[in-house]
Amino acid sequence: MPSIVDTLLQILKHSSPATEAAASGAVAASPLIASCRRIEPQGLFIIGAARSGTTILQNALNDSSDIFLFGEPAFHGDAGSSDFAARYNAMHRSWGNQETKSSYCPPLFAIDAPWHDYLARLADIYRYVGAKIVINSELASEQARQLFAFQCQHFYASRYLFTFRNPLDVLVSTRGLAELNGSRIATCPEVLRGYFVVVQLFIRALRNLPHVTAVFHETVNAGTFSTLEQWLKQPLTRAGDYYNVSKVRHYELSAVPEAHRALTAEAVALYQNFRRECMAGFELAQIEQNSGHFEQSHFTALGQLSRELSKFVDRIDSTYFPIQSPSGEES
């Protein structure tokens, strides 16, 4: 009667190459995983809500001869088909964008290829490669969840630069642009909810990823880029020239429909607290904050802010977006 060892050897002898690799713990990584792992330390990603200053920051960083950032390629939602350049360039042409590093994928291969092949090739040329990522208000929660999972899996050790702008300005600018373009105009609660989902994503990234920082659009100056130079260990000689304070538009609360002014004012106050604490530098980010504390003094500044953000978003959900039953009626 054959021993257990003999039986196992026979199974391995007749198994497929994939099975043998799995049995030996030597499963080969997919082309996507392999490409991303190789360039992960060179990854640089700008993340923000729409109309929060992501585009100008991408343009400023792309001025460097050592940085290449794609503009909204949505890698996290791209299956990796071998026509990335054609799709990406067509998208930016349809938006009316002139060709720059931010809007054009160069023909680096004789035949079109998946996005991760372009990123890997560009990583042979540039010190940092990555993308600008905009989270839109309509599907903000799902986009944030999907993005965080994707970035952790493929670009955990990369650098993440979040950009924020006063939510009043984001709100009016977002709705105004949609009206100008003839697009669907998101409601005020929808825009504000999406905005603070991005703030929540920043806090999640700050607590879990090794290289995360933020800038605030309305206060960008020479000192901002001096700090980013140190963070990236990369000269950004002309980046500040892309900013013109006189062109940063600000709006009054009167520009918001009267029914939503109180909610918007509350959002602005929450933002100001967030900006103040963020610029001061969050201490003790790794303390686990349990929301069941009896004493509010037990919360760190970051823990308290996270709690306030969750309450604000939850209140918007319960007030403006009640749960729908399967029949489509409000429960």
The lowest-confidence range among 42-46, 85-89, 197-201, 276-280 is 276-280
User: Looking at the predicted structure, is the pLDDT value of residue 20 above 50?
Assistant: no
Rg (CA), the chain: 23
**What digits encode the pLDDT tens for the residues 192-208?**
999 999 999 999 999 99
Cα 295 off chain centre by: 34
Q: What is the pLDDT of residues 226-242, one digit of tens each?
A: 999 999 999 999 999 99
Specify if 173 maps to a domain: yes
Neighbour count for residue 159 (Cβ, 10 Å)? 21
Q: What percent of the residues of the chain are helix, what percent strand, and what percent coil, each to the nearest 5?
A: 55, 10, 35
Domain assignment present for residue 21? The answer is no
Comparing 83-87, 88-92, 130-134, 282-286, the range with the smallest average pLDDT is 282-286
Per residue in 116-172, pLDDT (tens digit) is: 999 999 999 999 999 999 999 889 999 999 999 999 999 999 999 999 999 999 999
Contact 73, 115 (CB under 8 A): yes
> Mean pLDDT over residues 50-62, rounded?
97
Dig out the tokens for 221 from the structure.
């100056």
> In this structure, is residue 3 part of a structural domain?
no
Comparing C-alpha atoms, which of 193, 179, 185 is closest to residue 140? 193
Residue type, 225: F
Q: How far apart are CA 95 and CA 72, in angstroms?
A: 12
In the chain, the number of structural domains is 1
| Torsion over CA: 49, 52, 58, 61 (sign) | negative
Q: Is residue 331 part of a domain?
A: no
And the tokens for 231?
Answer: 């963070």
CA atoms within 13 A on the CB side of 50: 21
Question: Would 17 be classed as within a structural domain?
Answer: no
Residue 209 Cα to chain centre, angstroms: 13
Give residue 29's pLDDT band: very low, low, confident or very high (50, 70, 90): low
What CA–CA distance (Å, rounded) separates 203 from 276? Answer: 14
- Is the pLDDT reported for residue 6 higher than 90? no
On whether residue 98 sits in a domain, the answer given is yes
> Residue 1 domain-assigned?
no
**What is the pLDDT confidence band of residue 301, given thresholds at 50, 70 and 90?**
confident
The bridge status of strand 159-164 relative to strand 67-71 is: unpaired
107: domain CATH number is 3.40.50
**Residue 314 maps to a domain:** yes
- Is pLDDT larger for residue 80 or for residue 23? 80
Nearest to 121 by CA among 153, 96, 84: 84
Domain housing 226 = 29-320
Express as a percent the part of the chain with pLDDT over 70: 85
Q: Tokens 């190459």 appear where?
A: 17
* pLDDT for residue 13: 46
- Whether the per-residue pLDDT at 26 is higher than 80: the answer is no
Residue 108's CB is within 10 A of a number of other CB atoms, namely 15
Ranking 80-84, 85-89, 304-308 by mean pLDDT, the lowest is: 304-308
Q: What is the pTM of this model?
A: 0.87
